[in-house]
Structure 1
Amino acid sequence: MSKTAPHPRVVMVDGVPMSALVAEVAEPRAVVVALHGGATTSAYFDCPGHPELSLLRVAVDHGYTVVALDRPGYGASAAYPDAMARPEQRVVLAFGAIQRIAGAADLFVLGHSMGCELALRLAVQQPEVLGVSLAGTGRRYHPAAQELLKDASPVNRPRGLRELLWEPARLYPPDVIGAGLSAGGTAYEGDVVKTWSRQDFPALAGQTKVPVQFLAGEYENVWESDTEALAAIGAMFTAAPRVQTGELPDSGHNLSVGLTAESYHRTVLSFADECVAHRARETGKTEVEVEAR
């Protein structure tokens, strides 16, 4: 099987097995690290039965290697909750897995929903990260979503959650909703939810020093994402050299498995291209300065 086709990998990081779906090119422009949201897995980025929606397949055609990681607590690492209770543990596990799979390379990180927490921590802490794209998150819940989610937990999925995450249904292929994508949640995510929108998101945003893309579906039902909300989110990234925000037409919360997934992924990859070029300019500038001295 060609390495460009999505294939599973499992690597050991500090005694914890970390799994991923991987698609590789021989000389990648960079490595796209894709981090799924809650209650799903890396399959979210290579939707079963729908190769036309796959991030991995379009990205390799664009010259990128992709590591769609099963976030700590999912996939092969699900049986090791004590090894990922703290944020710094999750960063070590994720970055260790990325290094073992893709080696030393520039990284572009894509986070969706709950995956945005780990995406931003990687962007802040790892100099290898040259840019980050976030979606499916925000600063304020829609009032209806806040009411529904107030008692939600990894073991308590409130009635109406499916409709919240998957409506309008016309935005998705009929066989996709819930098909082969669901997984149990993790214990630490309850703590993440409690502090994310009010504390951790703004704190991490202010420390992010790479270009940032923030996208929201036109029919994002969980988070407020109107023009005012997007402007407020963009304003949090005070240290980033560039912030791009935007709304994706005819798209819902689950962008990577909707009918507009290919367009969304190409928008992300176009931003990744800009981040690669930005890093190259910065590296070239530094090298010239060193030579001048």
Structure 2
Amino acid sequence: MSSLTGGARPHTLNAAGIPLSGFLALPEGREVRSTILAVHGRGMRAAYWSALVPLATALGHAVLALDRPGYGDSAELLPEGQSLAGQAETLHAALKEHAAGHAIGAGVFLLGHSDGGKVALHTAATDGAVPLLGLDASGVGHHYNPEALHFPSTLGGGASKLNWGPLNLYPRGTFQASRALLAPTPPRESAETVRWPGQYEDLAPRVRVPVRLTFAEHEAWWQLDDPAPASMAALLTAAPHVSVEHLPAAGHNISLGHAATAYHLRVLAFLEDCLRL
């Protein structure tokens, strides 16, 4: 699972002096229609997005998946990590560097999971040098399930149900293989967890691209009873289009489960919509 497939190759960007490792996958034999910046969640690495690569590149999209600041090659330089807003600034710098040497097509489509979805929302709410097409986020809500705030985002520590949901939602061998994706969560990121609801209320009105929010059927980190998802969407007042979807037979780590293909196809369908807007 941690190996790179579908034409992906290791890739490192200099983001204003911060080395961001990850991978880059380009469509073979055709121009890049758009570039997907894929942003992993808490305690994971860029290879979380490996299963997306063959579907996206077959449709002409490049996939740029980066280890967020404080993970991968930047962990030594940033042992405390960066704030979510700081990570967004670093990602904007990385996109500028990437666009200087690679075709990005019509622009960059943000794809974020969990804490990576928070960073993607911060990125969409701030200006950068590269045009943004839209944002698709999974596993990130507005208000936490009260039980979730007591657990770390790890395979152990009592958080397995929150992170995964029912084990039969994942292919055999997923949990052993996914250990290669794990990385320590930087302290600054962990410290911001309780502040997210207020942060979201501040940044949501500044997101000016189409947004799709996806919640797994067995998502346990967030309050999802009505009207919570609709209330979250309603705060995105400047976004030209907002949709909320619920994915059946999926747990929090959607892109590692049996539902990954269905989710990724829906992501790419939304990207097509964004390209037409």
TM-score, scaled to structure 1: 0.83
**Which residue pairs with 2:140 in the alignment?**
137
Q: Which amino acid aligns with 1:229?
A: A
Identify unmatched segments of 5+ residues in structure 2.
none
Pick from 32, 39, 47 the counterpart of residue 43 of structure 2: 39
d(CA) in 2 for partners of 1:227 and 1:7? 42
Q: 1:44 deviation in Å? A: 0.6
**Which residue pairs with 2:215 in the alignment?**
216
Q: 1:120 to 1:254 in 2, by over 3 A?
A: same
Pick from 89, 94, 97 the counterpart of residue 94 of structure 2: 97
Confirm or deny: 8 A CA contact 1:83 1:89 kept in the other structure.
no
Confirm or deny: 8 A CA contact 1:230 1:246 kept in the other structure.
no
d(CA) in 1 for partners of 2:145 and 2:98? 38
Q: 1:88 deviation in Å? A: 5.0
Larger Rg: 1
**Which residue pairs with 2:160 in the alignment?**
162
SS in 2 for 1:203: helix
Confirm or deny: 8 A CA contact 1:72 1:78 kept in the other structure.
yes
d(CA) in 1 for partners of 2:207 and 2:103? 21
Identify unmatched segments of 5+ residues in structure 1.
47-53, 279-293
Confirm or deny: 8 A CA contact 1:22 1:56 kept in the other structure.
no
**Which residue pairs with 1:73 in the alignment?**
70
Q: Deviations over 1:253-290 (max 9, x none)?
A: 00111101000001011101111111xxxxxxxxxxxx
1:1-293, aligned counterparts within 5 Å? 5-25=7-27, 26-46=30-50, 54-81=51-78, 85-102=82-99, 103=102, 105=104, 106-126=107-127, 128-146=131-149, 148-149=150-151, 152=152, 159-177=157-175, 178-196=178-196, 198-278=197-277
**Which residue pairs with 1:286 in the alignment?**
none
Q: Which amino acid aligns with 1:5?
A: G
Once the two structures are overlaid, the 10-residue window that deviates more, 220-229 or 105-114, is: 220-229
Confirm or deny: 8 A CA contact 1:67 1:98 kept in the other structure.
no
Q: Which amino acid aligns with 1:6?
A: A
Q: 1:233 deviation in Å? A: 1.2
d(CA) in 2 for partners of 1:182 and 1:83? 17
Q: 1:8 to 1:115 in 2, by over 3 A?
A: same
Confirm or deny: 8 A CA contact 1:29 1:276 kept in the other structure.
no
d(CA) in 2 for partners of 1:86 and 1:172? 31
Q: 1:84 deviation in Å? A: 5.2
Q: 1:104 to 1:96 in 2, by over 3 A?
A: farther
Q: 1:200 deviation in Å? A: 0.9
Confirm or deny: 8 A CA contact 1:44 1:256 kept in the other structure.
yes
TM-score, scaled to structure 2: 0.88
Q: 1:234 deviation in Å? A: 1.0
Q: 1:65 deviation in Å? A: 0.3
Confirm or deny: 8 A CA contact 1:122 1:129 kept in the other structure.
no
Aligned length: 264
Q: Which amino acid aligns with 1:195?
A: R
